[in-house]
Amino acid sequence: MRLYTSRIGTRIGGTALGLGFLVIGAFAIGVSGEAPDAAIADRAFWLGITLAFAGAVAAAVSWLVSDLSNIWCSPPRRFFRSK
């Protein structure tokens, strides 16, 4: 397995996004037991599982894929040129 380091800003941003999903997923899993209804607890738990999975995939993809052009959006080009 090779870690790629080109476009480091995009890779760090994708990792931060993935870690954010992981944190929100862990929070949703952790507080699902506090839900007032069993159906709401079940939805919160599975939302947490989904977000944790998406976060792990986003963090892994950010470093393991060589070409990020079709995965993460590139920053927009400047509309006005500086002189």
Model confidence at 80: pLDDT above 70:
no
pLDDT tens per residue across span 1-16: 788 888 888 889 999 9
* Mean pLDDT of all residues belonging to the chain: 88
pLDDT (0 to 100) of residue 9: 86
Q: What is the DSSP string of 25-73?
A: HHHHHHHGGG-SSHHHHHHHHHHHHHHHHHHHHHHHHHHH-S--TTTSP
Model confidence at 25: pLDDT above 80:
yes
DSSP state of 15: H
Looking at per-residue confidence, does 7 or 38 come out higher?
A: 38
Query: What residue spans define the domains of the chain?
Result: 20-64
